[in-house]
Amino acid sequence: MNSIFEKVSNEEMIARINQLTPQTKAIWGKMEVDQMLKHTNEAILIAFGENTLKINFMMRLLGRMMKNKVFNSGFKKNSPTAPEFIFNESYDFEVSKSKLIANFSRFAKGHESITIINHPFWGKMTYEDWDKLMWNHLDHHLRQFGV
């Protein structure tokens, strides 16, 4: 099984990111490639305690109820996301790509890279949960852009 914490798997994911170009188009969805890079990077920063989400009680409850299904079967096309992860501007492709690669590679240092136990939406997280969430989320968006 692929893991964000294993060096080889981590490098394989980064190799997929490196296949993207500013001209890469989405197969589905509304995001441009630079927006996807920013979106996925901002989601990763939650694991490091470097980004926060404001989630109301009902949404927290929904997240906890959906957690196992989403973590084990992956994300569906055009799934909703938190407003903090919606980026409608244009972003520097190379800067966004470099930030995503740098932050994703931090997971290869091992479990100690994760500093948050309670995700604001999904609830209490194990290292296995973080592994599934971060892998499935980035994989979902790279497939969205054909890599």
Interatomic CA distance for residues 128 and 147, integer angstroms: 24
Report pLDDT for 72. 85
> Which tokens is 60 given?
């927290």
The pLDDT tens digits of the residues spanning 59-111 come to 899 999 999 888 888 888 988 888 899 999 999 999 999 999 999 999 999 99
Q: Taking the model in full, what pTM does it have?
A: 0.93
Interacting residues of 28 by C-beta distance below 8 A, sequence separation 6+? 77, 78, 144
- Residue 10: pLDDT over 90: yes
Give 119-123 contacts, CB < 8 A, sequence gap 24+.
119/46, 119/63, 120/46, 120/52, 120/53, 120/54, 120/55, 120/60, 121/53, 121/55, 121/59, 121/60, 121/63, 121/82, 122/63, 122/64, 122/67, 122/71, 123/60, 123/63, 123/64, 123/67
Amino acid at 88: N
Stretch 136-142: mean pLDDT, rounded? 97
The answer to whether 141 and 87 have CB atoms below 8 angstroms apart is no
pLDDT for res 74: 84
